[in-house]
Chains A and B, each alone.
Chain A
Amino acid sequence: MFSIFKATQLDLLRSKFELFFIVLFPSILVFLLGTMLASLDNADSPIETMSIEYVVESSEPLTVQTVDELVAQFDDVEDIRLIASTDLAGSRERLEGGELSAVIVFEEPFALRIYEGNDDVQNRAVHMVFEGVSRIVASYEVVAAHMMAQQTNASNAGALGAEASGAENTATGNSPTGSPATGSPLTGSPTDTETSLVGAKSFGASSSMMDYYAVTMIVMIMFMGGAGGSALFFYEARKEGTLRRVLVSPHSRVSIYLQYVLRYIPMCIVQVLIVMLMSSTFFGAHYAATWQANALLFFMLFAAGFACNAVALVIGMFLYKVNPMPILMPLMWVILFLGGTFNKGVYIEGFSNFMPPYAIQVAAFDLVRFGNSEKSIVVIIGSCIVLAAAMFIGSILFNRRKVSY
């Protein structure tokens, strides 16, 4: 009953070309992206110890106090040493001589001036840190203005303190005097990597680029490789003549069609497994914390990939006379691009969120980063519905369409 399935699997297992696409292509992709992203992460990671001299040019007591408090925050930070200086010219000389990473000047009333050193990575880190500081300082400006207003209104000192405290949090959400638990940008996360300092990748301080791209790589493979290959099936089969020969046999067309759909199961399993295992083993990609969540993630990606293949096979049924790749590949590329697969920065409200890759990626990240399985289950159910519909419609069409493949 499964003779077509078995024979095509055997043929596939022995085919260097097919194996390239099923096994080597994802592996190469993981290694290429992994190496590329690792070098990006390298630029992120070893910032080394930074020696920064600071000069306070303000005589404003509030500014001086603010700077003192800020500097005190760095006492617990191993990799950043802040050294007070009163000689800006001397500091700049030492900076040019490579002894320092940067020189910061706290101006009156709350402005910052940064003199950069020669190390680009450290310069980036300094900017990220002190842009945060700048924001905090700016919050003091709000507080000060508030205090001034209170003083003008002759309010009592106790009430002022209480309100000022409330205003600090309201203005920035970060208190410079708060403990690490309050979420200070300086002490709330490890400061030995730029990633953690910046915290801009939206997946938490411990995430790397690989965590994002490991998932999107699977999505890319399932849409471009898997779906493209399935859409090509009828075109190739027509050229080869194998399908014609199978169709002449007394097997029902529905059975033949379903066996051709089923042959994508091992392919999808292998591709998802390869990317997941290789990205985590060799490039330290983080997936979910529990094996159950990882199993769910795997099943979701497999179900989506299989559904994708089944839909592409139906499309390929109509494009059997011409190579469907020039039509499908740009379309797939646009869908993936708008779905944020190539760059998470790409998002168009009302459009991207309707792209299947986007839904799959969001569900995957929700599961991996936050342990929420609701969206993954929705994707699995959706994929199963799409798969069932594609198999049903495909087999009916295949049965009815008497075309010469």
Chain B
Amino acid sequence: MENRTATNEQFVTVSGLTKRFGDLVAVDNLDFSVAEGEIFGFLGPNGAGKSTTLNIIATLLSLDKGEVSVAGYDLNKDARAIKAIIGLVPQEIALLPNLTAQENVAFFAGLYGLKGSRLKEAVQKALVFVGLAEQAKKRASKMSGGMQRRLNIACGIAHDPKLIILDEPTVGVDAQSREHIMEGIRILRDRGATIIYTSHYMPEVQEICDRIAIIDHGRLVGLGTEQELLRVVTDVKSIVVRFEDKPGFDSDGLIRRLCVLPDVQRAVFNEGATELRIDVTLGFADITPLVKEFMALDLRIQSLNSEAPDLETTFLALTGRELRQG
């Protein structure tokens, strides 16, 4: 594989895409494009039309209206040519559980016409890439969740696809595997693959994606780089409060009480409940009610800063829901 970076050439073009299921309009006149060599984040709450769109691009679903082209091939006319250059890494662990890692990769890569020494080489390369070369003879069912995720990726990339669709590839994996997967995706991009990436984990999207599209109710509600999207929200600011560690306090109760205060739009704790991000309207001026709530729980403030809203805030502003809520 040659090393490449994103170009201005559009690799995937979606225009006027519409898909209905009976009366339900799952995708409504959607337009976007993905540049060659780009990692394109595709976000949306559950039922937003995200999976439908990806399934259409992956040739699994037919479209009702509009046009989709991949690498210059028209989806309606050249679906088979598109299939040959796509690699799908589904959200599910789509493996044959009783086959070894090697056999799984060989099976899925073999579907793309790879045979003999070429197939062997591709399998070996893919397993090395995801760090499973040592586990080649191990059955998928005997692997840990993180290893299965990595094998899931290996099965989707072994045939060296030009377009890789990664549908939440890090669900349920530990931090180490997540980091391994993230690094792998960057390498794939550097080797010239175009990647469409979905996740429910915003920091991942921020970390890895060149551009992000947010869709809701089948429509595109936001598109751009992280910085461009952050500028979309102009009527919200964030207050970030850091506390001294106090295990066992009622963080959920605190969030509930904060969210009913005037001008507070959202409050969310980090994983250790030591950092609280509160999104407030621009009219918010008095922090006394907030401090009172903290004092009621005997929380000791280490620092309190005003920050620009993050991508989660943007997502919330655009869709009305948090990404993790789905």
**Chain A residues with a Cβ under 8 A of chain B:** 3-4, 7-8, 10-15, 239-242, 244-251, 402-405
Contact = CB atoms under 8 A, between A and B. Distances in A.
Contacts of A250: 80, 83-84, 111-113
Given A7-B99, A14-B99, A248 B59 contact: yes
A10 B99 contact: yes
Contacts of B99: 7, 10-11, 14
B113 A11 contact: no
Contact of B51 (A4, A15, A404): A404
Contacts of B83: 248-250
Contact of B88 (A4, A15, A245): A245
A241 B92 contact: yes
B139 A248 contact: no
Given A8-B96, A15-B98, A245 B91 contact: no
B154 to A, nearest CB: 12
Nearest to B61: A402
| A-B pairs with lowest CB-CB distance, top 5 | A241-B92, A241-B94, A14-B98, A249-B111, A241-B90
A242 B94 contact: yes
B155 interface: yes
Contacts of A3: 107, 110-111
A245 B97 contact: no
A241 B93 contact: yes
A79 B155 CA distance: 73
B90 A14 contact: no
A15 B98 CA distance: 6
Max count, chain B CB within 10 A of own CB: residue among A3, A248, A249:
A248
Given A11-B98, A250-B113, A402-B62, A240 B84 contact: no
A246 B111 contact: yes
Contacts of B251: none
Interface string B191-215: 0000000000000000000000000
Contacts of A14: 98-99, 139
Given A10-B96, A250-B111, 11 more contacts: A3-B111, A11-B99, A12-B98, A241-B90, A241-B92, A244-B88, A245-B156, A250-B112, A251-B111, A402-B60, A405-B60
17 contacts: A3-B111, A7-B96, A7-B99, A11-B99, A241-B91, A241-B92, A241-B93, A244-B58, A244-B60, A247-B59, A248-B58, A249-B83, A249-B111, A250-B83, A250-B84, A402-B62, A404-B55
Interface of B: 51-52, 55, 58-62, 80, 83-84, 86-88, 90-99, 103, 107-108, 110-113, 139, 155-156
B133 to A, nearest CB: 21
Max count, chain B CB within 10 A of own CB: residue among A4, A8, A11, A247:
A11
A4 B108 CA distance: 9
Contacts of B87: 248
B61 A403 contact: yes
Contacts of A248: 58-60, 83, 86-88
Contacts of B62: 402
B120 to A, nearest CB: 15
Given A3-B110, A10-B103, A404-B55, A247 B97 contact: no
A244 B61 CA distance: 11
A37 B111 CA distance: 50
A403 B88 CA distance: 16
Contact of A245 (B51, B52, B108, B113): B108
B139 A247 contact: no
B155 A245 contact: yes
A341 B156 CA distance: 47
A248 B61 CA distance: 10
Contacts of B51: 404
B94 to A, nearest CB: 3
B93 to A, nearest CB: 7
Contacts of B58: 244, 248
Max count, chain B CB within 10 A of own CB: residue among A14, A242, A404, A405:
A242
A247 B60 contact: yes
A242 B156 CA distance: 11
Nearest to A402: B62
Contacts of A13: 98
Contact of B90 (A11, A15, A244): A244
Contacts of A242: 94-96
B85 to A, nearest CB: 9
A14 B140 CA distance: 12
A3 B59 CA distance: 21
Nearest to A249: B111
Contacts of A4: 111
Contact of B60 (A7, A10, A239, A404): A404
B265 to A, nearest CB: 35
A335 B165 CA distance: 45
Contacts of B112: 249-250
Contacts of A245: 88, 90, 94, 108, 155-156
Nearest to B112: A249
A242 B94 CA distance: 4
A402 B59 CA distance: 9
A231 to B, nearest CB: 20
B316 to A, nearest CB: 28
A92 to B, nearest CB: 70
A402 B20 CA distance: 13
A312 B92 CA distance: 25
A11 B96 contact: yes
Contacts of A239: 92
Contacts of A405: 60
A248 B94 CA distance: 12
A355 B75 CA distance: 46
B103 A7 contact: yes
Contacts of A244: 58, 60, 88, 90, 94
Contacts of B156: 245
A304 B315 CA distance: 56
